[in-house]
Amino acid sequence: LLVAAQLASAGVLTFADRPSFNAAAPAGITLETFENGTLADGFGASIGPTLGASSNNAVFPPGAIAPGLLLTAAQGLFVGNNRNHFPTISVMNDAEGDPTTISFPATQVTALAFDYYGLFFENGLSQVTLFDAASNELWSGSVAPPGTGVFFGFLSTTSIDRVVLSNGIAWYGVDNIAF
């Protein structure tokens, strides 16, 4: 029996599916689907180490990404459209094992959800860790997300500053980030 939501740690409630998260999330939540990018079906592109509202690259012009959201990966980000198991335009790390950070500069986020996709996870688990602005860990968990994706949803009594996705040996991506 799966429970749609559960208290994961002090002040963080987790959700295993989007309908349960959406029912509990506050009104006015922003959803970034990455569908404002221009990328032909089946194609992919490297877009550099950061992606946010002011980004200007071959896929996303300025303003194509929701304000208040920033994705970073030291060795770069890759965007695929219906490629590498991702069903729509999705963002992944461009170098195997490179951690990806989803952050919320100048935005107070207490609700967060995203779809998490994995590629080639036969060699290990991926770590998902939420942090507050003081770098305190709010929640952490391990998962081997399948190519079909896994949903993560969180409501927190403390503002979520960032979530770090890491796996030293694999590629993984995100889509449908709600905050």
Taking only the tens place, the pLDDT of each residue in 126-135 is: 899 999 999 9
CA atoms of 67 and 54, how far apart (whole Å): 8
Structure confidence by residue, pLDDT tens digits, 24-51 = 999 999 999 999 999 988 899 999 999 9
Give mean pLDDT, residues 97-119.
92
More confident residue, 118 or 70: 70
pLDDT digits (tens, 9 = 90+) for 50-91: 999 999 999 999 999 999 999 999 999 999 888 766 678 999
Alpha-carbon distance 114 to 21, whole Å?
10
- Cα angle, residue 72 at apex, residues 85 and 37 outer, rounded to 5°: 55
pTM: 0.90
Q: What is the pLDDT of residue 85?
A: 64
Residue 13 pLDDT greater than 50, yes or no: yes
Q: Give the residue from 159, 152, 154 showing the smallest Cα distance to 136.
A: 159
Q: Confidence class of residue 118 from pLDDT cuts 50, 70 and 90?
A: confident
Three-class DSSP category at 15:
strand
Q: What is the pLDDT of residue 1?
A: 30
Per-residue b or e along 161-170, where b marks 16 or more CB atoms closer than 10 Å to that residue's CB? bbbbbbbeeb
Q: Name the strand (E) or helix (H) holding 19.
A: helix 18-24
pLDDT of residue 68: 97
